[in-house]
């Protein structure tokens, strides 16, 4: 087990109040917290004191949270997800006229569309993002 995973396991085992969900990808962590904000702040403070070289920043919200390429929010009591793209981010895919094999270029389109379908839990939101993705590929010379 990687060292950070051991530290997390030891820390979480020592907590009286734990997150509903705890997800980590490299150095990004998403916590779904159902206890009070005061308990969240105490949890964060304890985590930062648990190991001398680990110090986590805390971004929390009652409405939504961004984790990697997703926005997670609660709508009508249900956890929903949507695609997150940085305002300054510009998608960059292979140009259609590149010398890469056609099956590679087709798989890029397929995989991105599949990714959007997996991330977006709301159908209207998913369709909006897929439409934008389609325009991006057409602008890069892909055939609709």
Residues 113-130 have pLDDT tens digits of 999 999 999 999 999 999
Cα–Cα distances (Å) from 31 to 18, 25, 118, 127, in that order, read 10, 12, 20, 28
Read off the pLDDT of residues 70-110 as tens digits, 9 standing for 90 and up. 999 989 988 899 999 888 888 889 999 999 999 999 999 99
What's the CA gap between 56 and 27, in Å, rounded? 9
The gap from C-alpha 37 to its chain's centroid, in whole angstroms, comes to: 22
Q: What is the pLDDT of residue 114?
A: 97
* Spatial distance between the Cα atoms of 94 and 110, rounded to a whole number of angstroms: 13
Q: pTM for the complete prediction?
A: 0.75
The pLDDT of residue 1 is 61
Q: Per-domain residue ranges for the chain? A: 3-60, 66-139
Residue 2, pLDDT > 90, answer: no
What is the pLDDT at residue 54? 85
For the stretch 46-65, pLDDT in tens is 999 998 888 889 988 888 99
């Amino acid at each position: 087990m990687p060292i950070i995973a051991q530290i997390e396991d030891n820390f979480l085992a020592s907590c009286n109040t734990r997150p509903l969900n705890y997800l980590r990808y490299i150095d990004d962590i998403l916590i779904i917290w159902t206890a009070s904000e005061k308990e969240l702040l105490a949890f964060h403070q304890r985590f930062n004191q648990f190991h001398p070289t680990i110090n986590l920043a805390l971004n929390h919200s009652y409405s939504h949270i961004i984790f990697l390429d997703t926005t997670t929010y609660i709508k009508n009591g249900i956890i929903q997800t949507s695609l997150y793209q940085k305002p300054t981010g510009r998608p960059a895919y292979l140009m259609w006229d590149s010398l890469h094999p056609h099956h590679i270029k087709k798989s890029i389109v397929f995989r991105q569309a599949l990714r959007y379908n997996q991330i977006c839990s709301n159908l209207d939101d998913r369709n909006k993002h897929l439409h934008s993705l389609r325009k991006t590929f057409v602008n890069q010379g892909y055939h609709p």
